[in-house]
Amino acid sequence: MSNKQQVLTSEAVLEKYGKALVGKTVLITGVSDDSIAGELAVQLANVDPKLLILSARAESKVAPVMEKIQKAKPNVQTRFLNMDLGNLSAIRKAVDHDLQDVPQIDHLVCVAGVMASPYNKTVDGFETQLGVNYIANFLLVKLLLPKIKAAGPSSSVIIVASSAVRHGKVFFDDIGFSDGKTYEPMVAYGQSNAARVMFVKELAERLKGQGVRTYSIDPGAVRSGLQRHFTPEFKQQIEEWSKAGPLTDLDGNPFTIPQWTSTSEGAATMITGMIDPTIAGEFTALVPSGASVGDYEAHELRDQDPKRYEGNGVLKAVHNVENVIAPALIKQHFDLRTDLAKIDEFLIKLDGTKNKNNLGANAILGVSMACARAGAAARNVPLYEFLARTAGYPTSYTMPVPFFNVINGGRHSGNPVAFQEFMVAPVGAESMSHAVQMGSEVYQALKKIVSSKHGASACGIGDEGGFAPPISHPTEALGLLLGAIKNAGHEGKVKIGIDPASSEFFKSGNYDLGFKTNQPHSLSPAELQSLYSSLLGKYPIILLEDPFAEDDWSSWTAFNKTCKVELVGDDLLATNVERVELAKSKEACNSLLLKINQIGSITEAMEAAKKAYSYGWRVFVSHRSGETIDDFIADLTVAIGAGHLKSGSPCRGERVAKYNRLMDIEDELRATGGSFKYAGPEFVK
């Protein structure tokens, strides 16, 4: 760990988060005028807790602290709790008798400890440092847990430990150092710290999901009464260690002896553990999958075990996250607030292949997304702001035009139509939420038309929540859309996008529009191009995605010369900077479809977007047909100012999750006075 870390005072932490302690009950052990616990009590009194229970072996230790509090904050209640941590029955008595009238404890902060003392034993016969620093804390937490849980979510158990844990280990075969014969004060201190830190880890595991913040903390080197057993020789030795540079812990990681800090700075670490919202939390991510997968996408690792999920299981990817990525990543000690690019680079190197074949793009992406979420929390900013700042985009935001895929064909449904997606885009809406309303109204109007033309049974939906009526030709789908837009009353304000996903029906140099039927309908690239041109001439189409197959470069380039609408490369580009550069060199398109799982890390996806923007192209963010309820791409779209995204129909939870998140972002920006606009008719920033 580096000494360059910013060290905060208690005052600074309380100024930011102290409100959370108003009216709370806090129990602190080890209180005396010359301890961090005493400083903590005085600091906490400033933010008006209800009750401070101050524990020590003798009232005389606590009295000066109480006096200070009384003077500064006469309304804050304090109470002395007599408890000798070297005596387990004294702990039981204190909890059972003296705290009977306290129904709940919001925060338990166990500061009391012994450091490097001469050999001694507790009343119960344990070596003193182990007995006081670990066993007493164990019992105290066990006895107080019902009261802590009664305090509800955001209560906390904080156990103060020390950097001595880094070279501390528990000597299970001889926990008492042969009755003192082999006793070395610092080794025993290390053992007691290893024991209390492992205890807290297990406690946190057992309290998972119950809202009790559980941390062991290292307050740094604080001058306090704790060092009363330090001999001059020992102090000299510490000086020498500090000068010698980084030491190595039991995992082989370097660390330096912390510099001396003030009691306020030491107490700040405990307050951070108790209430700082940015250090708490579990950050997760769900990774999507596609049905029409391009040849240039990163490798999605599936088990290929025919006995499970027809080979589609992902146990290998999960194993890679848990057993390969997690241990390696944790050792790097990246700073989540600033290091997303370094984290992703590390993961890519750890995989070691160009296509993420070893660990799987699905394994890597999930970690990358979760790290981005953790980074946002650590910076205390929303995910979209974190991503915008990370990639260097301005924080004046553009809410995207949602492209709702309301008719599903191609690989996404069982009807005969070859083109995969027919989307409606409310460019004339006034806001994101208005766009969702318009899109939903068109969707419902379409349902009525489909039902009256093809019967109620034709209102079943495809992979992305769009209807999949039994139509064959794209003009039939477009006719249905025009009717729905008109019936919903949004003519002129809702435009159309099409994704033929043509790699799926590219066969031997031609395009077979009958590929889902037993009647081939083969078009040459030139014939397909003229079909597109005629559709663009007749319908209010503003966007065309993957009109040609991923390797049919000449058709792309030829069409791009005359095409007047946004021409989006999906399978063509695979969200891959190298493919984007290649497409630019061939002048093949003017927009990147951005799918995070095509490339497999957030940093690379954002780099592909940057590259596209640098060519003056647009960026269209996309879900996958095999989506999840994860709404990450909503924040990403806002962060990079893409101005439009597609996430399927206003139907099915995994599609709607993204639109809901976008409406939430819009509300949040409005409420906080953030700068934003709706992308509107140009559907770009």
User: Which part of the chain contacts ligand 2PG (CB under 6 A), choosing from 137-145, 609-617, 622-630, 674-682?
Assistant: 622-630
List CB contacts of 166: < 8 A, sequence separation 6 or more: 247, 249, 250, 255
In a 3-state reduction of DSSP, which class is residue 35?
coil
Of residues 127, 265, 421, 464, which has the active-site annotation? 464
Best CA proximity match to 439, nearest among 404, 465, 400: 404
**Is residue 292 close enough to count as binding ligand 2PG by CB under 6 A?**
yes
Of residues 595, 611, 646, 685, which has the active-site annotation? 595
Site for ligand 2PG, residues 412 to 431, rule: CB under 6 A: 420-421
Nearer to ligand 2PG, 106 or 499 (CB): 499
How many C-beta atoms surround the C-beta of residue 452 within 10 A? 10
Using CB under 6 A as the binding criterion, the count of chain residues that bind ligand 2PG stands at 14
User: Which part of the chain contacts ligand 2PG (CB under 6 A), choosing from 163-171, 479-487, 512-520, 616-624?
Assistant: 616-624
With the CA atoms of 85, 86, 92 and 98 taken in that order, what torsion angle do they form, in degrees rounded to the nearest 10? Answer: -50
Query: What Cα–Cα distance (Å) separates residue 226 from each residue in 116, 259, 544?
Result: 9, 16, 71
**Is residue 128 close enough to count as binding ligand 2PG by CB under 6 A?**
no
Q: Which residue is nearest to ligand 2PG, using beta carbons?
A: 290
Task: Tell me whether strands 107-110 and 25-29 are parallel, antiparallel or unpaired.
Answer: parallel
| Minimum separation from the CB atom of position 268 to ligand 2PG (A) | 48
**Is residue 291 close enough to count as binding ligand 2PG by CB under 6 A?**
yes
b/e burial code for range 217-253 (CB count within 10 A of at least 16 → b):
bbbbbbebebeeeeeeeeeeeeeeebeeeeeeeeeee
| Minimum separation from the CB atom of position 510 to ligand 2PG (A) | 20
Q: What share of the chain is helix, strand, coil (3-state, %, to 5)?
A: 50, 15, 40
Two tokens, residue 348: 């890519």
Nearer to ligand 2PG, 292 or 472 (CB): 292
**Is residue 499 close enough to count as binding ligand 2PG by CB under 6 A?**
yes
User: Which part of the chain contacts ligand 2PG (CB under 6 A), choosing from 80-88, 290-298, 555-563, 611-619?
Assistant: 290-298
**Is residue 290 close enough to count as binding ligand 2PG by CB under 6 A?**
yes
Q: How far apart are CA 494 and CA 441, in angstroms?
A: 11
Identify any residues that bridge with 681 across adjacent strands, giving them in sequence order.
none
Encoded amino acid at 516, one letter: K
**Is residue 569 close enough to count as binding ligand 2PG by CB under 6 A?**
no
| Minimum separation from the CB atom of position 409 to ligand 2PG (A) | 11
Nearer to ligand 2PG, 199 or 404 (CB): 404
Nearer to ligand 2PG, 258 or 409 (CB): 409
**Is residue 501 close enough to count as binding ligand 2PG by CB under 6 A?**
yes
Q: How far apart are CA 150 and CA 212, in angstroms?
A: 10
Site for ligand 2PG, residues 439 to 468, rule: CB under 6 A: 464
Told to judge if 464 belongs to the known catalytic residues of this protein, a careful annotator would answer yes
Element (H, E) at 113: none
| Minimum separation from the CB atom of position 543 to ligand 2PG (A) | 12
Q: How far apart are CA 678 and CA 250, in angstroms?
A: 54
Question: Is residue 406 a contact partner of residue 454, using CB atoms and an 8 Å limit?
Answer: no
User: Which part of the chain contacts ligand 2PG (CB under 6 A), choosing from 1-9, 142-150, 266-274, 620-628?
Assistant: 620-628
Task: Tell me whether strands 618-622 and 644-646 are parallel, antiparallel or unpaired.
Answer: parallel
DSSP assignment letter at 258: P
Question: Which of 570, 604, 630, 631 is in the footprint of ligand 2PG by CB under 6 A?
Answer: 570
| Minimum separation from the CB atom of position 496 to ligand 2PG (A) | 15
Q: Which chain residues interact with ligand 2PG by CB under 6 A?
A: 290-293, 420-421, 464, 499, 501, 570, 622-625
For the annotated catalytic residues, the residue numbers are 464, 595
